[in-house]
Amino acid sequence: MPTDRIRMHWTRSAAVGLVSGAVGVAAMTVGEKVEQRCTGRPDSFVPARTLRRLRGLPDTNRLSRKANLGMHVGQAILLGTLRGVMAGAGLRGPWASAMFLVVRLTNDQTLENATGVGAPPWTWPRDEVVVDVLHKAVYAGTTGAVADALAARWGPGPGQVHARRRTGSVHDVGPP
């Protein structure tokens, strides 16, 4: 593949990921709102607190819903670029979405714990862990489904080409 075609492939894959991340966060947010109405769980302002700490701003009791939504949506859209690149590389389907779910959970936990806003999930009440993982699974699954569908329009990714030529991970098989 000539360099310009490679650059265009990865740029397109990242753009697919931005769109996919936006659709994924919309699905996750709708799911969260439905769950909150059923359970009575209040909104979490952890994203806003994390954003304030990342920006070096002091803690305040007045947390903005806009900042909360901005961090919630912004993180999801930016992380979506990774899922788009995964799909472009040929990492598609439920396994790829499961790998991406781990990335999403890791991203949240790293930022929240590094800023002192959060605590490790194994210290949380079990029901909070379940709710968080389920919502992030909706995000990862939706983001993955959209990224996979859009990437499939351009044919198989390099990893899929490799797998068709020879099974397993070997060094001497690659895309044409």
Residue 156 pLDDT class (50, 70, 90 cuts): confident
Per-residue pLDDT reduced to its tens digit, 1-36: 568 888 888 999 999 999 999 999 999 999 999 999
* Cα gap 13→147, rounded to integer Å: 8
Cα–Cα nearest to 15, from 80, 98, 71, 74: 80
Residues 6+ apart with CB under 8 A from 48: 63, 64, 65, 67, 68, 71
Q: What distance lies between CA 7 and its chain's CA centroid?
A: 22
Per-residue pLDDT averaged across 99-113, rounded? 97
pTM for the model: 0.89
At 8, list the tokens: 């265009």
Is 34 strand, coil or helix? helix
Cα–Cα nearest to 156, from 107, 106, 88, 69: 88
* Cα gap 59→101, rounded to integer Å: 29
Per-residue pLDDT reduced to its tens digit, 121-143: 999 999 999 999 999 999 999 99
DSSP 169: -
Q: What is the residue whose two structure tokens read 């959970």?
A: 105
